[in-house]
Amino acid sequence: MKKERNLLIIAALAVLISVNGFAKGEQQGRVLSTDSLTLAIGGEPDEGFDPCTGWGRYGSPLFQSTLLEFDRDMNFTNDLSTGYSVSSDGLTWTFDIRSDAKFSDGQPVTAEDVAFTFNTTKEAGSEIDLTRMKLARAASPTRVVFELNTPFSAFINAAVSLGIVPKHAYSANYGQKPLGSGPYVFVQWDKGQQLIVERNENYYGTKPVFKRLTLLFLNEEGAFAAVQSGSVDIAMTVPMLVRDIAGYSLLRARSVDNRGVSFPSTKSGAYSPDNLPVGNDVTSDIAIRKALIYGIDRMAIVRDALSGYGTPAYSVCDGLPWWNPQTRIADNDVAGQKAALDAAGWRLSGDGIRVKGGVRASFTLIYPAGDQVRQAITMAFAQQSRALGIEAVPKGGSWDDIGLEMYRTPVMFGWGSHSPMETYDLYYGKLATTGYNNVTNVHNSAVDRCMDAALAAITTEDANSNWKKAAWDGATGYGNQGDATWCWIANIEHLYYVRDGLDVGNQRIHPHGHGFPVISNVKEWKLK
């Protein structure tokens, strides 16, 4: 989360550097060709392009191969791998890899490189969770074996997100000038400005059509200016900057990039392991939480705050294989929730805000300052809350501010991952109030048992079944019918201006906006 704050600072500097060049018309009148594309599709990674420290987990690692990848329907398919198996006790995963893969320096990709990558990532303690892996070892040049401490069904998601690095060329500075076996080769990184890559002629798979990509690090306003000047071929944008611009069409990519409000679920007075205050005397009442979850009109928020560029959200993983459709509820039940609040003892006061036992139904709702989308959603949510007699007071803050307040103050968060481990991190009891994990401090032993069973499952099907039960099993769950500690509001569409004549293929459902999810299918891109 703190990275978003840094990206805004970097992007602001990039605008000063880059947009001046656009104003001179240096690239106007560009004609599409397979020689090169210029893109402005997201922010710059702080740590560089090292998968072992987290690069690529929100999209394609670009420079590196992965063992597996997702197809357009979110099914697991082979990339570097030719097949895998799991032992009956779930403790051993074996992957066979193709023998014709080479790094861009011509050296072969072997099982030693795969094992080295996973072991290095585990030691680094990156955001790719390999804590349950004991070790990875090469059984032959084309077979790698992963030994786990405990069964871990979500290990397959690491096989999708972790790019393979070369053991012979890896160092502490690898992320500054990465070498890999992916579809593109690193050429140049001008920090704060741009990244240049070229097609990997040693690539074993279908080679991309476009020989060279230049990725500009611009914020939304800078990217919009670049589109207006005709200087870019693809540019990410936000609903507030959508216009009809000659020579471009608007790509609306479906995403699980959601926005939702966290509700501290316990009363105030406790402290986290890091001695931060925990609990909120208003949102600790489930009647307040459910009134907001069932009483707001998500479609109206999508329409008014996002100009229609999104869909209502009811969980952190809508539409993904581990999503429970029962979390989708009928909302906009203002009358019903007013009655429920009355029955729970929350009575309207003279100013229209409810009070119970001397506690006023009012709380601060923090959003990241400078994030136009979250600010708009926060304002719309606050307006609708007041119709229920609940006051949500919007407040912009830095990520440092949010980090100090998030265990006792509702926050407009953004999540969305291609791994069920995000659900685990948000709801598992033992993780409560540790970093950004389980910020609502919810504890439900039935949910924890379902999640434990999901991780211990041998097959993906069994794992997904248990993930769904954790949300709602008919009697309890972390979802809207159960603990109701999050009010999920919208899945935002990822919006891109795309130059006429460019076909960016069938986009996979996008995760949260870090990284460059639009290029995950870059091998499909072509001229129309």
Q: What does the pLDDT average to over 421-446?
A: 97
The whole-chain average pLDDT of the chain stands at 93
pLDDT at 194: 96
**149 vs 266: CA distance, rounded Å:** 34
> Nearest-5° angle of CA 201, CA 193, CA 525?
40
Segments of the chain assigned to CATH 3.40.190.10: 1-44+191-253+494-528, 53-168
Q: Reduced to 3 states, what is the DSSP secondary structure of residue 40?
A: strand
In DSSP terms, which residues pair with 237 in a beta bridge?
Answer: 495
* Closest among 316, 361, 320 to 337, alpha carbons compared: 361
Segments of the chain assigned to CATH 3.10.105.10: 258-492
**166 vs 391: CA distance, rounded Å:** 54
pLDDT at 29: 54
% of the chain with per-residue pLDDT over 90: 88
Do the strands 412-415 and 277-278 form a parallel or antiparallel pair, or are they unpaired?
unpaired
Domain 258-492, second-level architecture: Roll (3.10)
**298 vs 86: CA distance, rounded Å:** 42
What's 181's DSSP letter? Answer: S
Q: Which two three-digit tokens encode residue 337?
A: 């929730």
- Cβ atoms 367, 412 nearer than 8 A: yes
**181 vs 165: CA distance, rounded Å:** 8
CATH 3.40.190.10 for domain 53-168? yes
Q: Which two three-digit tokens encode residue 43?
A: 């922010």
CATH 3.30.420.40 for domain 1-44+191-253+494-528? no
Place of tokens 């685990």: 424
Count of C-beta atoms within a 10 Å radius of residue 104: 21
Q: Reduced to 3 states, what is the DSSP secondary structure of residue 370?
A: coil
Q: Which two three-digit tokens encode residue 27?
A: 């690239």
Question: For residue range 356-391, what is the model confidence (pLDDT) as tens digits?
Answer: 999 999 999 999 998 999 999 999 999 999 999 999
Question: For residue range 480-522, what is the model confidence (pLDDT) as tens digits?
Answer: 999 999 999 999 999 999 999 999 999 999 998 777 899 999 9
**220 vs 373: CA distance, rounded Å:** 11
Q: Which two three-digit tokens encode residue 464?
A: 């997904």
Question: 270 CB contacts (<8 Å, ≥6 apart)?
Answer: 277, 278, 279, 441
Residue type, 497: Y
Q: What does the pLDDT average to over 13-36?
A: 55
Lowest mean pLDDT among 72-76, 244-248, 278-282, 295-299: 72-76
Lowest mean pLDDT among 100-114, 122-136, 309-323: 122-136
Length of the chain: 528
Is it the case that residue 395 has pLDDT exceeding 50?
A: yes
- Cβ atoms 470, 478 nearer than 8 A: yes
